[in-house]
Amino acid sequence: MRMMRSVGTLTRADLAETINRKMGFSRAESLDLVEAILDKMTAGLERGENVKISGFGSFVLRDKNERVGRNPKTGIEVPITPRRVLTFRASQLLKEQIAKG
């Protein structure tokens, strides 16, 4: 069994730094580009659209109905309100790349 190791977090600043190095934009322009992309994705999700990035994956919205849950400590049943959840589905290409380690 392969052990999972803890790694750092990829941030907006990290993405901007990569754009800065690879594309030659200024740091401010690179960060503006990252923010513009994230804003576009967020706006689409707010409108109820799924966001698909070819070769990477899809951010998919799902509406969950009201249901009955159970408090694991007390066993008491409680209603869980309807809500919208966001899930990420990795593309096959991304899954293959991750599997390689």
What is the pLDDT of the chain when averaged over all its residues? Answer: 92
Which has the closest alpha carbon to 60: 50, 52, 69?
50
Distances in whole angstroms, Cα of residue 82 to Cα of each of 36, 43, 46, 61, 79: 31, 22, 17, 13, 9
Q: In this predicted structure, what is the pLDDT of residue 4?
A: 54
Does residue 3 lie in a domain region?
Answer: no
Q: Tell me what percent of the residues of the chain surpass a pLDDT of 70.
A: 94
Burial class (CB in 10 A: 0-12, 13-18, 19+), 88: exposed
The pLDDT tens digits of the residues spanning 60-95 come to 999 999 999 999 999 999 999 999 999 999 999 999
Range of the domain at 55: 50-101
For residues 32 and 11, give the distance between their C-alpha atoms in angstroms, rounded to a whole number.
14
Within the chain, residue ranges assigned H as helices are 12-23, 27-46, 92-100
Same domain? For 82 and 70 the reply is yes
Task: Kindly state whether residues 66 and 97 are assigned to the same domain.
Answer: yes
pLDDT-derived band at 1, boundaries 50, 70, 90 = very low
Q: pTM for the complete prediction?
A: 0.77
- State whether 44 and 55 are in the same domain: no
In a domain, 1, yes or no: no
Residues 96 and 55 in one domain: yes
